[in-house]
């Protein structure tokens, strides 16, 4: 389920997709301080109660899926970019799995 809402910093969209093993693939679309509208996908570990999540920078999977510079950042523009990013879900899941396969191969 996607949540689109106006935060203190402007319009934001978020979708959490369960991956199993207590992890979600989290898509977030928001306007950055640079003025660009960016959609990122990152794998987060979700707490047992589902109330919080954690992300380990430099080790957990994270990528910018779409980065654009619209003239205005409206609810409609945020929703459209977020939808386009979610259309890439299968390819992103594959890159996420490859990221962890590579990491485990380095440890072994």
* Burial degree of 91 (CB within 10 A; 0-12, 13-18, 19+): exposed
Domain encompassing residue 80? 2-101
The DSSP-derived string for 46-78 is: EPTTSS-EE--TTTS-EEEEEEE--SS--HHHH
pLDDT band at 24 (very low <50, low <70, confident <90, very high): very high
Is residue 106 in a domain?
A: no
48, pLDDT greater than 90:
no
pLDDT band at 103 (very low <50, low <70, confident <90, very high): confident
Number of neighbours of residue 13 by Cβ within 10 angstroms:
22
Is residue 107 in a domain?
A: no
CA distance 103 to 92: 17
Enumerate residues 6+ apart whose C-beta is below 8 A from 83.
Answer: none
Is residue 78 in a domain?
A: yes
Q: pTM to 2 decimals?
A: 0.91
pLDDT of 108 reads 57
Is residue 38 in a domain?
A: yes
Q: How many domains does the chain have?
A: 1
SS3 85: helix
Q: Percent of the chain at pLDDT above 90?
A: 81
Is residue 17 in a domain?
A: yes
């Amino acid at each position: 389920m996607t949540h689109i809402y106006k935060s203190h910093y402007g319009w934001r969209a978020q979708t959490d997709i369960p991956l199993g093993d207590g992890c979600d693939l989290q898509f977030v679309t928001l306007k950055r301080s640079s003025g660009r509208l960016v959609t990122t996908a990152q794998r987060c570990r979700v707490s047992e109660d589902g109330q919080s999540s954690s992300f380990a920078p430099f080790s957990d999977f994270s990528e910018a899926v779409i980065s654009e510079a619209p003239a205005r950042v409206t609810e409609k523009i945020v929703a459209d970019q977020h939808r386009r990013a979610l259309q890439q879900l299968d390819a992103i899941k594959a890159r996420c799995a490859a990221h962890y396969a590579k990491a485990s191969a380095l440890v072994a």
